[in-house]
């Protein structure tokens, strides 16, 4: 064990990583969720409503929108979690006792990310105008409140967890299997004594690595097809977007994970070390990607790590295509980061390939 430093490091490192992730990064009650406001009435009453939302710590205002089309785009791309709309003549309707309506739209593709914030809305807005509606305006603060609250949970209005989990399982399964399968590729050659034959052949390192990656892309498509079929016919997940676009993105994601596995294979000295590296990569991917816990509920440092993982971006893509009906314009914002990850990792694997017998 003392000679096998990598295994010893995994024995120490994996519990430390789990302790840090579960102790600091995981949060089931996300706050400071990015919120945009479509403010058509900038009176003191509208500002009081926004201040009440901000003071709750659930809502963090990051943008001011100018029209409904801009609001729709921001929500579809996942740039914000909530959109608060305060209509025109809000203050006039309020002072006349007409109970104006405030609309709050939520990206509910992940119900656990928005559930607590939505549950707090009625209490927050009922008390938001207490300091403004005093004296002659006190009659407006009736028992049923001075305003109407309308909440639209977009893309998953019923809060069905399968709509969020089942599409995400495609990314989780592909990450686990693709990295592990190719993680054993080079180390298996070394242990069987056939690595020398590969090194003596007139092939470039990139050609050998691509030869080991490409066949497993078809295996990944089989897995993706099985999960999509189950999602459609067993769990009745809505498929609002383009399936061919989803399959195109899946090929890039599969290639990125295969590149990660083949790089592990060139770094590991045996198959046991390759499996350990795979698990060390899979654990943060599972916990920091937003699959098990709300991504925006994690601290900033954990979100930075999560942004480096291809699974994080693939989850946003697949949920966006299936639940939101996103097209290529929305997908490309996440897809290029997966491509960059694949290129960087494959480059490392190519540079390490010739040194695998040292």
Q: Which residue's structure tokens are 């403010």?
A: 39
The two three-digit tokens of residue 182, written as one number: 């190719």
Task: Express each pLDDT in 188-243 by its tens digit.
Answer: 777 777 766 776 777 777 787 788 788 888 999 999 999 999 999 999 999 998 99
Contact between 32 and 60 (Cβ < 8 Å) = yes
Task: Express each pLDDT in 48-104 by its tens digit.
Answer: 888 888 888 899 999 899 888 999 999 988 899 999 998 888 888 888 878 888 899
Q: Which of 151, 327, 149, 340 is nearest to 259 (CA)?
A: 340
pLDDT of residue 307: 94
Region 327-337 average pLDDT: 91
Domains of the chain: 33-154 (3.40.1710.10), 160-353 (no CATH)
Task: Express each pLDDT in 102-158 by its tens digit.
Answer: 899 999 998 888 888 998 887 887 777 767 666 566 656 655 667 888 999 999 888
pLDDT of residue 175: 93
Q: Which of 304, 317, 307 is nearest to 251 (CA)?
A: 317
pTM for this structure? 0.86
pLDDT of residue 194: 72
Dihedral angle, C-alpha 221, 222, 227, 230, nearest 10 °? 140
Contact between 264 and 179 (Cβ < 8 Å) = yes
> In this prediction, what percent of the chain has a pLDDT beyond 90?
35
- pLDDT of 343 strictly over 70: yes
Region 291-320 average pLDDT: 92
- pLDDT of 327 strictly over 80: yes
């Amino acid at each position: 064990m003392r000679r096998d430093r990598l295994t010893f490091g995994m024995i120490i490192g994996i519990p430390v990583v789990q302790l840090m992730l579960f102790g600091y990064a995981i949060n089931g009650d996300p706050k400071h969720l990015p919120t945009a406001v479509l403010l058509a009435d900038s009176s003191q009453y509208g500002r009081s409503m926004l201040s009440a939302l901000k003071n709750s710590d659930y809502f963090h205002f990051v943008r001011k929108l100018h029209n409904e089309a801009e609001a729709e785009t921001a929500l579809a791309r996942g740039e914000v979690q909530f959109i608060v709309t305060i209509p025109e003549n809000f203050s006039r309707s309020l002072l006349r006792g007409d109970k104006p309506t405030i609309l709050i739209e939520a990206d509910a593709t992940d119900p656990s990310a928005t559930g607590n914030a939505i549950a707090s809305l009625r209490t927050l807005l009922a008390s938001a105008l207490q300091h403004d509606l005093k004296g002659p305006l006190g009659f407006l603060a009736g028992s049923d409140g001075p305003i109407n609250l309308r909440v639209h949970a977009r893309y998953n209005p019923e809060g069905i967890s399968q709509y969020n989990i089942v599409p995400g399982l495609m990314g989780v399964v592909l990450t686990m299997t693709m990295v592990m399968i190719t993680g054993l590729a080079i180390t298996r050659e070394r242990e069987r004594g056939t690595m020398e034959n590969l090194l003596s052949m007139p092939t470039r390192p990139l050609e050998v690595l691509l030869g080991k990656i490409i066949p497993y892309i078809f295996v990944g498509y089989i897995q993706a097809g099985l999960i999509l079929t189950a999602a459609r016919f067993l769990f009745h997940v809505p498929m609002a977007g383009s399936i061919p676009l989803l399959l195109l993105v899946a090929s890039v994601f599969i290639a990125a994970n295969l590149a990660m596995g083949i790089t592990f294979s060139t770094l590991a000295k045996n198959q046991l070390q390759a499996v350990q590296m795979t698990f060390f990569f899979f654990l943060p991917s599972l916990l920091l990607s937003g699959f098990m816990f709300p991504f925006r509920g994690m601290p900033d440092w954990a979100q930075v790590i999560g942004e480096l993982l291809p699974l994080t971006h693939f989850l946003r893509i697949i949920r966006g295509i299936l639940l939101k009906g996103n097209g290529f314009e929305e997908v490309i914002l996440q897809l290029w980061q997966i491509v960059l990850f694949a290129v960087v990792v494959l480059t490392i694997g190519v540079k390490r390939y010739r040194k695998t017998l040292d």
